[in-house]
Amino acid sequence: MSRRRQIYEGKAKILYEGPEPGTIIQYFKDDATAFNAQKKGTINGKGVINNRVSEYIFTRLSHIGIPTHFIRRLNMREQLVRQVEIVPIEVVVRNVAAGSICQRLGLTEGDPLPHTLLEYCLKDDDLGDPLVSEEHIACFGWAAHEEMQDIASMAIRVNDFLCGMFAAIDIRLVDFKLEFGRLYEGDFSRIILADEISPDGCRLWDMQTGEKLDKDRFRRDLGGEEEAYNEVARRLGILQNDDNAPGEVLDMSTHRNKLRGSKPIKK
């Protein structure tokens, strides 16, 4: 499929005009950023892995009735999605204390939360994606009350499904972010899941060792980012030994040794 007009370039993806009205092509980059793009780098093959992982997760979510923007994967780095109006709110789903919530509330990283916690952040890099309440969202008209009900309900359903899916492959889903969009159908719109779900936006810890298998390895200079992303894909059954993806993992035990050999993992 020939590439069309570029619409937008973000930190991890480029969006192109799709082949049909109402469609977009998402291109996954290898660029890695952290701390609102204050730290920048590259993880070799990250775009390939994120494309495959996101395809796999969105497809499985559609099987349990979660409406998503995903249509199909086009090639190693691109997928075709429905064009939506992105709700300017990031939803952070937390199961375990980690990251910014530990700094804000003085929690110990790794402590389970009393129950799943939903946090909302305004999508604005210039402001540092500030934490906002549902009252803020309603007051400034970023989303209607009914839309937020749909968003919260879907976020909990997605979390329940992903927790089980990752636990089955010995991975603890610590937290993750979601984005939603409005899909217009005539004069009406409905909320559907958008963007991506990949190791870029999830905290994923090995349930036995506590090893981090996500972008925290880049954020914290732990090393082994490429191996960690591939480990997630391999456990999900996405990468096979004959795949020609960059950073291919041929042996699981060798792969784990690479992770452990980068820098000590703090549990």
Q: Looking at the predicted structure, is the pLDDT value of residue 219 above 70?
A: yes
- What is the torsional sign of CA 170, 30, 54, 218? positive
Residue 76 has pLDDT above 90, yes or no: yes
Residue 250 pLDDT level (bands cut at 50, 70, 90):
very low
- Calculate mean pLDDT across residues 18-28: 96
Which helix (H) or strand (E) covers residue 28, if one does? strand 23-28
If you compute the radius of gyration of the chain from its CA atoms, what whole number of angstroms results? 18
User: What local confidence, expressed as pLDDT, does residue 186 receive?
Assistant: 87
pLDDT at 26: 97
Is residue 28 very low, low, confident or very high in pLDDT (cuts 50, 70, 90)? very high
DSSP 68: B
- Which amino acid makes up residue 8? Y
Domain ranges of the chain: 6-236
How much is the pLDDT for 259?
55
Look at residues 103, 100, 121 and name the one whose alpha carbon lies nearest to residue 35.
100
65 φ, ψ to 5°? 90, 10
Contacts of 173 (CB under 8 A, 6+ apart): 95, 159, 162, 163, 166, 167, 202, 203, 204
pLDDT at 94 over 90: yes
* Each residue's pLDDT tens digit, 161-176: 999 999 999 999 999 9
Q: Look up residue 167 and give its two tokens.
A: 């636990």
Q: Can you give the length of the chain in residues? A: 267
Enumerate the H helices of the chain as residue ranges. Answer: 46-63, 100-105, 134-139, 145-167, 216-219, 225-235, 252-262
Q: What does the alpha-carbon distance between residue 259 and residue 263 come to, in Å, rounded to a whole number?
A: 8
User: With 50 as the cut, is the pLDDT of residue 132 above it?
Assistant: yes
Q: What is the mean pLDDT of residues 219-242?
A: 90
Going by the DSSP 8-state scheme, the letter that residue 47 receives in this structure is: H
Q: In terms of CATH architecture, what is 6-236? A: 2-Layer Sandwich (3.30)
